[in-house]
Amino acid sequence: MALCENSCPLHMNIPGYLQLLKEGRLEEAFELTLRDNPLPGTVGRICYFHCQMRCRREMVDDPVSQGEIHRYLADTMYKMGKEKEIYQRLIKEKFSQTGKKIAIIGAGPAGLTAAYYLVRLGHRRNYYDNHAKAGGILQYGNTGLPLPKRRTKQRT
């Protein structure tokens, strides 16, 4: 496992999507990113990027700026209208229904991420949140985070 991948809290396949990006395979890079990170546009704007502190590129020039790559992939796929096609590929891989229904308290980033993985594993989920819309602090908080005024759609 690469140092950057090992230091990432999501343990993303960083070398994998960087290679796909290098080859110009944007859709596949976005899909690989989504497998580990269901909110790449958001994470690309707010993560502290522990991976950059362990990036071997720093020995040559500068560490790879993962945040910019996540934002670029997500924003590009949404602008091109390709996100639905890619999400459909992931949906086809969803495990068979288990019959289990899981309650998720809070529909913020952590709850949305948990739901993403649970649904992919074949479980049904219900959100319980005080707010009408999902998103938690990203939707309702005045966080000062560098999120765009008009948020990029995120789906789970």
Q: Which CATH topology does 1-93 take?
A: Fumarate Reductase Iron-sulfur Protein; Chain B, domain 2 (1.10.1060)
Structural domain spans, the chain: 1-93, 94-142
Average pLDDT, the chain: 82
Helices (H), the chain: 3-7, 14-22, 26-36, 40-46, 50-53, 66-80, 83-92, 109-120, 137-140
Whole-structure pTM value: 0.77
pLDDT, residue 151, reads 46
Is 125 in contact with 118 (CB distance < 8 Å)? yes
Q: What's the average model confidence in pLDDT over 62-78?
A: 83
The length of the chain, given as a count of residues? 156
pLDDT, residue 43, reads 79
pLDDT tens profile 84-134 = 999 889 988 999 999 999 999 999 888 999 999 999 999 999 989 998 888
